[in-house]
Amino acid sequence: MSEEPSEPVAAAGPPSDRARLRRKPRRGFYDATTIHEILDAAIVGHVAWALDGQPYATPTNVWRQGDRLYWHASVGSRMPRAVDGRPVCVTVTHLDALVLTRSATNHSVDYRSVMALGTAHLVTDDAETDEALEALVEHLYPGRWAQLRPMTAPERTATSVLWIDLAEASAKIRSEGAHEDAGDETWPAWGGVIPLRMVRGEPEPDAFVPDGMPAPEVRLP
């Protein structure tokens, strides 16, 4: 999201040609640890898919199980059937800071993102659906699944669960702060970094929560 020149560094894995970062390769990471860390901090991702020649970017909860990235949709939506067995891209982006410089061009943002390319698979097995939805709940609220009213068969069939393999995923991280062109430093404008972060507000319990029951802990990006 900015335009300064890049210097290649060694990547930790062998990316596919289309997953490889062509620009600013020093920002590209292909190791599982980096990719998993970014994905595991996500609440929402965007799934790119196409129907009748029109691409769509659909926001949805995403979560990882091992080497697979999962997302879900209602069985009533078009996406699950349209993408099953077809190529998709699931992208997770965490915005970390605004980067301000004295020139318009060198403005940027610090961020962490993962782009996963692969074939979408629609889960059809009941046990696998249960396991995936449990993993989603545990991803957002560790320990919560066991506290919930058990899922019913109609509830299970109302949700479509999909996944892609993470074999063709790449991470991109910018955390460099501000870079000025030589001579710009003395221009009389503010330069530097403004950090951004997602925070939890005060939990709003509904009328049925007993006195003293705390809200679940939440994982934030």
Binding mask 91-110 for a second copy (x = CB under 8 A): x-x-x-xx-x-xxxx-x-x-
Shortest distance, CB of residue 163 to a second copy, whole angstroms?
16
Interface size with a second copy, residues (CB under 8 A): 95
Which one among 37, 87, 121, 122 touches a second copy, defined by CB under 8 A?
87
Residue at 152: amino acid letter: T
Residues 59-78 that bind a second copy (CB under 8 A): 59-61, 74, 76-78
Shortest distance, CB of residue 214 to a second copy, whole angstroms?
7
Q: Are 130 and 150 in contact (CB under 8 A)?
A: no
Give the nearer residue to a second copy in terms of CB position, either 37 or 180: 180
Residue 158 CA to residue 173 CA, distance in Å, equals 37
Go through the chain and tell me how many residues it has: 221
142 is an interface residue for a second copy by CB under 8 A: no
Give the nearer residue to a second copy in terms of CB position, either 128 or 187: 187
**Is beta strand 168-174 parallel, antiparallel or unpaired with respect to 108-119?**
antiparallel
23 contacts: CB under 8 Å, gap ≥ 6: 6
Residue 57 CA to residue 177 CA, distance in Å, equals 29
Residues 21-40 that bind a second copy (CB under 8 A): 22-23
